[in-house]
Amino acid sequence: MERQVRTRYAPSPTGYMHIGNLRTALYEYLIAKSQNGKFILRIEDTDQERLVEGAVDVIYKTLKLCGMQHDEGPDVGGPYAPYVQSERKDTYKPYAEELVKKGHAYYCFCTKERLDALRSDAESKNQTFMYDRHCLNLTPEEIEEKLKNGEPYVIRQKMPREGTTTFEDAVYGSITVENSMLEDQILLKSDGLPTYNFANVIDDHLMAITHVVRGSEYLSSAPKYNLLYEAFGWEIPTYVHLPLIVKPDGSKLSKRKGDASFEDLINMGYLVEAIINYIALLGWSPDTNQEIFSLSELEKAFNISRISKSPSAFDMNKLRWFNAEYIRAMSLDAFYEKALPYLTEAITNKTIDLKKVCKLLQARTEVLTEIPSKVGFLNELADYDLNIYVHKKMKTTLENSLESLKAAVTVLEDITTWDEATLHEKLLTLVEKLGIKNGQMLWPIRTAITGWEVTPGGAIEIADLLGKEETLRRIRIGIDRLEKAVAAGNA
């Protein structure tokens, strides 16, 4: 009977969720869901020095926000609990001792000082440090004596020194390494806690994990894991190593160098759905030309065979494109909900209908944080250069702009029902009556009521938003300024 597919996302709680981490979680989730399997969350906190308070909550919050519901985990339980490594600490030592008995591991009593000296010596000779197996040949009696005396020890994996180890990866195919390159890695530390490399093999086996998904930087560790599986006589999982995510210039993404984490992207105004969609395509391609995928569509379309070996470039411009596509595809109500926090902060004029503002902004917004920069004219009329009335394409000058504004005021003052439809009808009737182009009326009005060269929406929509009183007040200011400028020009 075929085993049920079981993947696990096993992050260390060290703070934020970087993009590579999130993609690993996403691919593990998609591999499980595309094959009716289970997606497990396990917290790997054996490296106590790197733990950051609140980091576990960041993991929960991110997975929830992204819609990646785990089937088993510390918060939801499951048949293989506990799902936090530090709560499983008594699990690992018996396995390490079993390997010692089988001759695949050994006790090492070397002090930190001795190891530091070996490391310094290797560095001075420009060599890669490898443990010199000083404790490998201790007699059972010597080991017994040291243990009885309570001497601190670690348990090291005994690597084969001859030949090669070959393993299969679902992405990179068959990979062979020289055993002489494999160091006798530590399995159990002197505090009794397992190393990451040992704990995840034990936990993956005990939790019946079928697919191990991680970054290609861990390819070199796979032979060590395989030797452990073989030493125990356990079934080896399917390895899925993912290509690196790099910057467009090929350099590595790094939080320290200012590259954005998932949380940063959210704070920068990107939508979760757009981020997930984009990240899914960093290293995986569908067998169609489709680019926009919901999470449920990804669950159906995802296939390991379509994962690339080549590094993927994280391009903010491409993410911005995805985000704009998602914003445009939203219902007005959904966009309003997302835009509201930005609008309430940016628009101090409480008479403005924010839903109407959203209608103007939706097609003109690529990231949510742009919103405040697009709506400042609604609060107050900025001081502006009169030259923006002059527009070659619209065929406007200071003189004909002044004429248009004067004619518009007379019509606008008489409007009793102030809405877009009425404004449109009255102003375009006026344009026809004056025998001028639409732009010769609407450009001066928009300029007068905003003072901006570029705005979301045209004269009619903005006049509707500002209301009759404020629109007329601003147009009169424009008339006053233009009269002075035209008079001075003709003097």
Q: How far is it, in rounded angstroms, from Cα 5 to Cα 472?
A: 68
Q: Looking at 255, 309, 395, 433, which residue is catalytic?
A: 255
For residue 374, indicate whether it is catalytic.
no
Q: How far is it, in rounded angstroms, from Cα 340 to Cα 332?
A: 12
DSSP 8-state class, residue 25? H
Whole-angstrom Cα Rg for the chain: 33
Query: Quick check: 65 and 21 in contact, CB under 8 A?
Result: no
On the CB side of 310, CA atoms within 13 Å amount to 7
- CA distances (Å), origin 294, targets 27, 280, 406, 466: 14, 10, 52, 38
Q: Please, which residues have CB within 8 angstroms of residue 233's CB and are 6 or more apart in sequence?
A: none
What does the block give as tokens for 445? Answer: 């009005």
What SS3 class is residue 143? helix
- CA distances (Å), origin 246, targets 172, 283, 291, 300, 315: 18, 11, 20, 27, 9
Query: Quick check: 284 and 302 in contact, CB under 8 A?
Result: yes
Q: Which amino acid appears at position 46 of this protein? A: T
Query: Quick check: 232 and 258 in contact, CB under 8 A?
Result: no
DSSP 8-state class, residue 72? B
Each residue of 417-449: b (16+ CB within 10 Å) or e? eeeeeebeebbeebbeeeebeebbbbbbbbbbb
Active site residues: 255
